[in-house]
Amino acid sequence: MKKYVWLLWTTLISAVSFSQNALRISVKDSVSKEAISNATIVVNSAGKTTDDIGFSEFLNLRDGIYPIEISAVGYHSKKISVVLPDTSMHIVLLARKNAVLEDVTVIATTRNNQRIENSPLKVEVLGKEELDEENSIRPANIASLIGDFSGIQIQQSSAVSGNANVRIQGLDGRYTQILRDGMPLFEGFSGNFGVLTIPPLDLRQIELVKGSASTLYGGGAIGGLVNLISKRPTTKGEDILTLNQTTLKESDVNAYLSKRYKHFGYTLFSGYARQNFFDVNKDGFSDVPKLNTFIIHPRLFLYPSEKTTIITGYTGTFEKRSGGDVLVLDGKANSSHQFFEENKTKRNTGEFIVESNLSSRLKGTIKTSLSDFDRTIQTNTHFFHGKELNYYSEASALLSYDKTDWVGGLNFIGDQFTKKPSDPVLLNNFSNQTVGAFLQNTYRLRENDILETGLRLDHHFTYGNFVLPRIAYFHRFNEQWASRFGFGMGYKTPNALAPQTIEYNIEQLSLIANNIRAEKSYGFNAEVNYKKEYGEDNSFFINQALFLTRLSSPIIANELSSSTVVFQNAGKPIVSKGFDTYIQWSVAGWDIYAGYTFTIAERKYLQQNQFVPLTPKNRFATVIAKKISEKLRFGIEASYTGSQYRYDATKTPGFLFVAAMAGYNFNSHISLILNCENLLDYRQSKHEALYEGSMLDPQFKPLWAPIDGRVVNLSLRLKK
């Protein structure tokens, strides 16, 4: 009897073991045969993404026929069918698309394995191809590239330093959260010059979420968030050197090296930018500051097993920029010419990340960063030296099933601002610490319906507890039509050093009073889109979105007659609403993008003139690109910014900004790009003086248009 029981048991075990299979897939570029990382593979509604070498594996699959769909940013999707058992490696080749901007969602921001086009949370992406192009056009920073997104406004806040901030859907820059590899590093005092010192060559892609995105990344993403994703090494390796020169006396040298081996890999970026001051409108003050910037960013990747990646990295950014009276900058100061402002900044950042596939369904991530920001501000009338320490730690997990995904975790974020006691400013040392827990569920109700819910609980050590729910829903009507809608809440704690539309001198800023409350928000979004592919490389896509954000207890800055800036909560909200329309069309080798944003942003706490200053109601942008041959390509970009209200309730004129680019590839290793920004030479100074007062004490006006004029640059790119 025991013999038969044992035989039956072993037979059952063998049958079960025999029916459990592993499906291994490698995704590559159809032309270069280079591995495609972050490609999405869907098997029976369960999704995974490929790793840095283009590989993904599905375990514990029973015998049978499995339809599989593979998609990746910038590539045509592909469907295959596999019959298990099959122990072979399935190599899938994807063909590239011709596209200007892709409307996709990716794992780096959404953190789950949802199909690219079907995520309830819409994420717009600029991929490697666009970043490589921008490296040859504007190699020193990504500000103009982010401004290509519809609904995004890059607002220059200082005519002297050239600083700018990112505004989304009519809200001020302090409501935009900027992340580097999912970690917030640009906040408060350390947020200054953040976007202006990040070169595109060091990035794999940029991901943008418009509207509330607080569940996974904290309450600060009220207007939206920008996630900057660093490059990772590939087995093929990548060596790039870019040399750039502009007509505004800017010279840039950027280099990037990377390589992956079996158990380790590395990336190394190093860049230097030198810019001399330039007085474009000949009013005696610099419109472009004098600048010297050096950046170094090495990262080491360890692969102790196929399932685990360990990343350690360091980023050092060292910059000196000076603006003001051109005679002072030229070393010819006298009793009538003394005004200048000099900023010296040092940013040292360390990071540590561990990613591990603990099982076929469970992935765990631990990441932490520590950033020390040091800034010295010197003018002809004052001197200030301040520091800010930013720190962030997170442990999270992704648990995937056939019908649902769970993302949960804990994080701790903080910053500490310090100054010398002798510095003549009203601000004292202060700190912020927040501990948070988050949980997100993505549930596939049916084949074409996906519901996503999220909840974040934050405890700020000064301002108390915050509960942030979020819900989003996606429905696909058919292959062409789909829709989304969502609701989310956020908050922003008071910080006197948060970016403002007008950049105040630091000695003007007062302490945050004890009775100031945190700002709270809720936001809605809804959209419908249509997509049609026809022919080999022809496609058409249109998206129509509606948005509304209500910000209660907004913190407003008031400048007193003594020039001191005090902060207070307003009794009524700020409301921003409107719609966003954009079209992508690829036809006969032409790539066409057009976007229009209509925004009404109002300060309801005012009796009259409720408009939010320097916020255009109408904004239109278009990009047209054509690859004439394997060697020659060109593109033209145009944007129209409608009339804006100044702070004194007068209106600015609308204006047109035009840029053009032509690139020539001598071979696969050498390319040359000629680019011209602001072809029409539109400048605010053609309509009004940029300052009031005297040369000794100028009062610069808020900026609503470019001030640097027409710029031509020539860039040489060498790639191994």
CA 10 to chain centre: 55
Question: Which candidate, 483, 594, 614, 612, places its Cα nearest to that of 150?
Answer: 594
182 Cβ contact partners less than 8 Å away, ≥ 6 residues apart: 108, 109, 217, 227, 367
Q: Residue 327: helix, strand or coil by DSSP?
A: helix
Residue 221 tokens, joined = 């993403």
Q: How far apart are CA 456 and CA 467, in angstroms?
A: 6
φ, ψ at 188 (rounded to 5°): 60, -130
What pLDDT is attached to residue 192? 66
Tell me the residue type at 343.
Answer: N
pLDDT in tens, 87-119: 778 889 888 765 444 444 444 556 665 555 777
Distance, in Å, from the CA atom of 298 to the CA atom of 314, rounded to the nearest integer, reads: 6
pLDDT at 158: 86
- C-alpha span between 623 and 637 (Å, rounded): 4
pLDDT score at 133: 81
- The DSSP result for 262-331, as a single string, is SSEEEEEEEEEEEE--B-SS-SSB-SB-EEEEEEEEEEEEEEEETTEEEEEEEEEEEEEEEEEBHHHHTT
State the pLDDT at residue 425.
85
Q: How far is Cα 77 from Cα 69, in angstroms, rounded to an integer?
A: 7
Distance CA 617, CA 599 (A): 5
Per DSSP, the three-state class of 109 is helix
What's the pTM?
A: 0.86
Planar angle of CA 498, 504, 509, nearest 5 degrees: 70
Beta bridge partners of 534: 538
Q: Tell me which H or E stretch contains 135.
A: helix 128-137
Banded pLDDT at 293 (limits 50, 70, 90): very high
Give the least confident one: 177-191, 239-253, 455-469: 177-191
Residue 239, beta-bridge partner list: 257
Residue 191: strand, helix, or coil: helix
Using one digit for the tens of pLDDT, what is the confidence trace for 641-658?
A: 999 999 999 999 999 999
Tell me the C-alpha distance between 8 and 15, whole Å: 11
Q: 116 by DSSP, 3-state: which?
A: helix
